[in-house]
Structure 1
Amino acid sequence: MLTGLALIVAVGAQNAFLLRQGIRGEHVLPLVALCMVSDVVGIALGVAGLGAVLDRWPAVLPVAQVGGAAYLLAFGAQSALRAWRPKALETDSGPTMPLGRAVLLMLALTWLNPHFYLDSMLMLGTVANSFGDQRWLFFAGALVASALWFPALGFGARLLRGLFARPSAWRVLDSAIAVLMGALGVGLLVH
């Protein structure tokens, strides 16, 4: 469970978007559920041995890195643009993102992100498989971590609404997200 938490809690595109939607109170339950289901699938594939397949065909990862980097850089640019228009981002004003768009964005931030594959399939899969027949107990612990983290982040974000009633707080959050996504995107391209 602790190994799962260490990888899941790391701030990334998926967590940043879930935090943002949680603060706004938009589509939190479906997004939390989507994150958890994605973790179940990703970790299960890793424990079942997909990591070995990715090790066998290493050319898949560079392709995923370039695609993921492009997506993260675009998401970062969008966050930077929002940082310059904070009035449209206040919790009680601004357009609500349609559910379909929020779900597609979360799917992209999860499944187009090479870190998702590296963390859930390769890292957790490799660690789990080091336990031999007990690997599915490790899998259960990683799922507990996911079941604790995503609801806490998504639904706990509402506690920050008072802080984010001010446009300057949205500017800081979106600026931080832009820097983070830019750094992750450049990091993927460099490596």
Structure 2
Amino acid sequence: MTASLISAFLKGFALSAGLIIAIGAQNMFVLRQGLKREHVVPIVLFCAAADATLIVAGVNGLGGVLALLPGLSLALSLGGAAFLAWYGISALRRAARPSALIVEHQASMTLGAALAGTAAFTFLNPHVYIDTVMLMGAVGAALSPVERPPFMAGAALASLAWFSSLGLGARFLAPLFSRPAAWRVLDLGIGVMMLALAASLVHGALFP
């Protein structure tokens, strides 16, 4: 029994890690806040808690409910696209203003604004529901009832470990980002990626 529980835990950890360790809008936001050293711990905890909640909901059957609501997917896609486009344009505008590139000169976010942004990047992305609710939910639901808790625990731990590494580990890149050119490159990359993701969401929603 112990071996099966360990196996379920490792399965959840590996699957979660494989899905979240990718360059995406949420990860780039966490990285940027980590480089600014601004509200990093609350953001990391929010991301990890959101993933854990969605995983638990998926394993307990929410994925099947969402599959029956195609209109919700369309609304999330269009809303997410609008948000990503706005954030992408903001990043490009920062990159175009040399005075905005030094982190000390950048406007600080309040904790509420930072968490609101984190929530938008998390819940306005339809892929998060595909990954955590539907895919991980389907895998977890196929396990025996006794194996599901360790599976969900492993998946949640992988999420917490990743976001902690991304947000708190960003400080080790601080010497590189003491130069305006590094921030320019980062914001250019963020801007282009956000706009590309927004276009991808719109295309996927309108031409499935």
TM-score band, normalised by shorter chain: over 0.9
| Count of aligned positions | 191
Distance of 1:132 and 1:56 partners within structure 2: 25
Secondary structure at the residue paired with 2:106?
A: coil
Give a deviation string over 1:6-65, Cα, whole Å, max 9, x none: 111122111111100101111111111111111111111111111000112222111211
Instruction: Within 5 Å, give how 1:1-191 maps onto structure 2.
Output: 1-133=13-145, 134-191=147-204
Larger radius of gyration, structure 1 or 2?
A: 2
Letter in 2 for 1:148: A
CA distance in 1, matches of 2:37, 2:187: 16
Give me the whole-angstrom Cα distance separating, in 2, the residues matched to 1:69 and 1:132. 38
Check conservation: 1:47, 1:136, Cα contact below 8 A: no
Query: Percent of counterpart pairs with the same letter?
Result: 45
Letter in 2 for 1:58: P
SS state at 1:10 partner: coil
State how far apart, in whole Å, the 2-side matches of 1:12 and 1:60 are.
Answer: 21
1:34 maps to amino acid: F
Offset of 1:115 from its aligned partner?
1.6
Gaps of 5+ in 2: 1-12
Cα pair 1:91 1:161 within 8 Å, conserved: no
How far apart, in 2, do the equivalents of 1:188 and 1:135 lie?
A: 32
| Change in 2 beyond 3 A, CA 1:10/1:33 | same
Normalised to the residue count of structure 2, the TM-score between the two structures is 0.87
Greater CA drift, 88-97 or 176-185: 88-97
CA distance in 2, matches of 1:176, 1:90: 17
How far 1:97 sits from its partner (Å)? 1.6
What is the TM-score when the length of structure 1 is the normalising length? 0.95
Letter in 2 for 1:164: F
Instruction: Please give the alpha-carbon distance, in whole angstroms, between the structure 2 residues aligned to 1:179 and 1:122.
Output: 29
